[in-house]
């Protein structure tokens, strides 16, 4: 049985840089709990205004905790990341930033929605109760290239993948590019729809516990995960889903139409604003590719769970 470690969020990084000194060194097989800020690096707080949100320092985005050096990890190895637990701190936020997100031309003002999180649900949007499924939007190792790199684009090192199924119980495998791997995590979400369309999930400060182990004699070109049987919450599973279907030669255009239709449905059904509908889609609407065979047209479907409506 490995040792257990704790790393606080007093120091964070917002760039990949393989020259960064590790904040913690552990043995392969040890557990580590990382204390993480929300994606803003602690700038957003409950009750913050949209105006103040618009003045946020975006150079601090993601605010990752780490790096954690795993002894024995060398380039060409694989870092096995067993995701053991996530603990949120009772609040989260989702925003709209003009010029960003899937509907980057729809809104010209910053918007900020605050969520109060119970243990497993949130009731912070009129007309709906949303189930929580916490995970880290960013988990990765230091890149092979020297220099500093923004954390927004993901890649073979992992990073800002925003895969909502990387919840507790999942095992993530990452290729190692540097000595010690340099594992970092952050951008923790209380919940997120597949697509994260407004540019945010439920951005939430959190503590996450991982077991990190080095696997030798195997290699990966990019991240891979073993996900337990994906279970919907009992409320979502017991009810139908509304599916919005669109086809287009440009998959992004099809996605935009799906989201616009889902937003219209939410505005009409529960009387929320378009801004509220957009952030709600970002945390609960699941966008899937339905077909790629009818070249050049792609079909995209967006799913809303009926079980969320009160």
Distances (CA, A) of 267 to 52, 104, 129, 261: 26, 19, 16, 10
Question: Looking at residue 138, what is its pLDDT?
Answer: 98
35 bridge partner residues: 207
Distance CA 145, CA 265 (A): 46
Describe the chain by its helix, strand, coil percentages, rounded to 5.
15, 40, 50
For 179-217, the pLDDT digits (tens) are 999 999 999 999 999 999 999 999 999 999 999 999 998
Asked if residues 202 and 131 have their Cβ atoms less than 8 Å apart, the reply is: no
Tokens coding 285: 């609407």
pLDDT of res. 229: 74
Asked whether the predicted pLDDT for residue 228 surpasses 90, the reply is no
The confidence band for 235, taking pLDDT boundaries of 50, 70 and 90, is confident
Tokens of 129: 């109760």
Q: What is the pLDDT of residues 245-300, one digit of tens each?
A: 999 999 999 999 999 999 999 999 999 999 999 999 999 999 999 999 999 999 99
Whole-number Å distance between alpha carbons of 231 and 236: 10
Dihedrals phi, psi of 132, to nearest 5 degrees: -90, 145
H helix or E strand, kind and range, residue 257: helix 251-270
How much is the pLDDT for 189? 98
Q: What is the mean pLDDT of residues 120-143?
A: 97
DSSP class of 178: S
Domains of the chain (ranges; CATH) run 4-226 (2.60.120.580), 234-308 (3.10.28.20)
**pLDDT at residue number 233:** 81
Looking at the chain, the whole-number percentage of residues with pLDDT higher than 90 is 95
Per DSSP (E only), the strands in the chain are 4-7, 15-16, 24-26, 31-36, 65-70, 78-88, 91-96, 111-116, 121-125, 128-131, 135-140, 149-150, 158-160, 171-175, 183-189, 206-215, 224-226, 241-248, 286-291, 298-305
Is the pLDDT score of 112 beyond 80?
yes
* Per-chain mean pLDDT for the chain: 97
Share of residues in the chain with pLDDT > 70 (%)? 100
Q: CB of 199 within 8 A of CB of 100?
A: yes
Per-residue model confidence (pLDDT) at position 232 = 76
Is the separation of the CB atoms in 146 and 134 below 8 Å? no
* Per-residue model confidence (pLDDT) at position 123: 97
């Amino acid at each position: 049985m490995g040792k257990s470690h704790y790393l606080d969020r007093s120091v964070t990084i917002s760039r990949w840089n393989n020259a960064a000194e590790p904040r913690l060194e552990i043995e392969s097989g040890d557990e580590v709990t990382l204390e993480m800020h929300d994606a803003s690096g602690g700038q957003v707080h409950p009750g913050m205004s949209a105006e103040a949100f618009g003045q946020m320092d975006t150079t601090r985005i993601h605010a990752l905790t780490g790096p954690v050096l795993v002894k024995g990890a060398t380039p060409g190895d694989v870092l096995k990341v067993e995701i053991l637990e996530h603990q949120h701190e009772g609040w989260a936020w989702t925003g709209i930033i003009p010029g960003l997100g899937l509907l980057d031309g729809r809104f010209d003002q910053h918007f900020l929605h605050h969520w109060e999180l119970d243990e497993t649900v949130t009731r912070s949007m009129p007309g709906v109760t949303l189930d929580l499924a916490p995970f880290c939007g960013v988990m990765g190792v230091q890149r092979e290239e020297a220099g500093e790199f923004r954390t927004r684009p993901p890649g073979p090192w992992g990073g800002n993948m925003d895969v909502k199924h990387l919840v507790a119980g999942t095992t993530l495998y990452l290729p190692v590019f540097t000595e010690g791997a340099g594992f970092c995590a952050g951008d923790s979400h209380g919940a997120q729809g597949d697509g994260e369309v407004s540019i945010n999930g439920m951005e939430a400060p959190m503590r996450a516990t991982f077991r990190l182990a080095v696997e030798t004699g195997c290699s990966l070109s990019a991240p891979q995960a073993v996900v337990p049987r994906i279970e919907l919450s009992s409320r979502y599973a017991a009810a139908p889903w509304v599916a919005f279907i669109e086809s287009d030669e440009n998959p992004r255009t099809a996605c935009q139409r799906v989201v616009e239709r889902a937003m219209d449905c939410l505005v009409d059904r529960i009387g929320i604003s378009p801004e509220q509908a957009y952030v709600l889609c970002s945390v609960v609407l699941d966008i899937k590719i339905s077909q790629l065979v009818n070249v050049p047209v792609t079909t995209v479907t967006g799913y809303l769970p009926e079980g969320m409506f009160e």
